Amino acid sequence: MFTPTIQSKLPQVGTTIFSVMSNLAHQHQAINLGQGFPDYPMSEELISKVNEVMQKGWNQYVPMQGYLPLQEALAEKIAELYGAAISADEQITITPGGTYAIYTALTTVLQPGDEVIVFEPAYDSYIPNIEINGAVPVLIDLQFPDYKINWHAVREKINSKTKMIMLNSPHNPTGAVLSEADMQQLQDIVRDTQIMILSDEVYEHLIFDNIQHQSVLRYPELMERSFVCFSFGKTYHCTGWKLGYCIAAPQLMAEFRKVHQFNCFCCHTPSQVALASFLKNKEAYTSLGAMMQQKRDDFKTLLSSSRFDLLHSSGSYFVTAGYSRISDEGDKDFAIRLTREYGVATIPVSSFYKNGTDNKVIRFCFAKKNETLEAAAERLRRV
Ligand code: PMP
Ligand code: GLN
């Protein structure tokens, strides 16, 4: 009899909290404000375009780095938004989602024993992606409750093994955003070092209160050492498309593509062809911040008479909330009870800390139809 003996590459990893909470939501028919995905429809026009290009026969492989007109449309958009001159052909690779772009960038760069600075709470794929490459995550807590980076702590953690610093702005799960001063600090810290940057900017357009997104693409000195990752799923309300892209300097991108070509080769052709023309519709992404800001504000108003204490969110799909006026349970127990007893699923923020730091905070996703937010709030006000 065959007895499988796999030495786990990720011995400490269980099932991602997003699946756990979505399954629990399903089981209890709860309103799902946990996993981050919109419940409102995506653009009909974009759906029609995909349909149309499939009918026209765009159903075979595109080049492994992507469909050139899409790369060109992205380069044009980036020049306009961030003033960066990016080579469509050499510096942009279309990937099956932002998560894949992040994993591929880490795998391209990391050797066993390398250290990567990660700010926690951190999106849950980062640390396993580092560890599967034999590298070591060096963890720094964002300062609770405004979740700012302590740059002094960053300086203290840097040593000859530091290979990379990972950034995420707008930030999941907290909605914190990096400022120009943060970017200057980063620039000063990495100057005269060989440290690279991985910048996760999947929520680039979901930014509120007229704050300008501080993309690494705005900073040529940072850009030469960075991989910047994006997701069409977030921008076009189609998380299930799992399509994104990575931008890096030509030499870095050449190495990225060596990994990418034997893992994925190329991404879904019809979506890329449709997006190449849909990207010309600037309104579709410039209107996003205001739309999502309205949802943030509506949700906050709906919960104003509840016993949840909402923290500030400047971007993303998410807002975090303390519940100390309700319970002193751990956040995982509380989130499970909220799903079972009140029918609202959320994400416990301790899941975004390797050591499970529990500040008694849960994350709500407000990228939902008004009626969903209203129905959820009605339940949450009873807690
Ligand atoms: N980074 C962060 C912070 C995210 O929240 C997400 C959303 N899942 C991703 C990356 C990846 O997005 P995608 O679904 O395109 O892989
Ligand atoms: N990014 C989404 C979130 O944070 C979930 C993505 C996933 O399920 N892996 O909720």
Per CATH, the architecture of 60-277 is what?
3-Layer(aba) Sandwich (3.40)
Ligand 1 close to Cβ of residue 202 (< 6 A): yes
pLDDT single digits (tens) 274-307: 999 999 999 999 999 999 999 999 999 999 999 9
- For the chain, the average pLDDT equals 97
- pLDDT in the model for residue 311: 97
Ligand 2 close to Cβ of residue 269 (< 6 A): no
Delimit the domains of the chain by residue range. 17-42+286-380, 60-277
Q: Please write down the HEC assignment for all residues of the chain.
A: CCCCCCCCCCCCCCCCHHHHHHHHHHHCCCEECCCCCCCCCCCHHHHHHHHHHHHCCCCCCCCCCCCHHHHHHHHHHHHHHHCCCCCHHHHEEEECCHHHHHHHHHHHHCCCCCEEEEEECCCCCHHHHHHCCCCEEEEEECECCCCECCHHHHHHHCCCCEEEEEEECCCCCCCCCCCHHHHHHHHHHHCCCCCEEEEECCCCCCECCCCCCCCHHHCHHHHCCEEEEEEHHHHCCCHHHCCEEEEECHHHHHHHHHHHHCCCCCCCHHHHHHHHHHCCCCHHHHCHHHHHHHHHHHHHHHCCCCCCEECCCCECCEEEEECCCCCCCCHHHHHHHHHHHHCEECEEHHHHCCCCCCCCEEEEECCCCHHHHHHHHHHHCCC
Ligand (nearest to CA of 32): 2
**Ligand 2 test: best mutation among 26, 37, 103, 129, most atoms within 8 Å of CB?**
37
Residue 1 has pLDDT above 90, yes or no: no
- Average confidence (pLDDT) over 242-270: 98
Of ligand 2's listed atoms, the one at least distance from the Cα of 172 is 4
Of ligand 1's listed atoms, the one at least distance from the Cα of 172 is 3
Confidence of residue 213 (pLDDT cuts 50, 70, 90): very high
Ligand 2 close to Cβ of residue 36 (< 6 A): yes
Residues above pLDDT 90, as percent of the chain: 98
Q: Which of 3.40.309.10, 3.90.1150.10, 3.40.50.300, 3.40.390.10 is the CATH number of 17-42+286-380?
A: 3.90.1150.10
Whether 17-42+286-380 shares its CATH topology with 60-277 is answered: no
pLDDT single digits (tens) 3-62: 888 899 999 899 999 999 999 999 999 999 999 999 999 999 999 999 999 999 999 999
- pLDDT in the model for residue 3: 87
Residue 222 has pLDDT above 90, yes or no: yes
Ligand 2 close to Cβ of residue 351 (< 6 A): no
Confidence of residue 93 (pLDDT cuts 50, 70, 90): very high
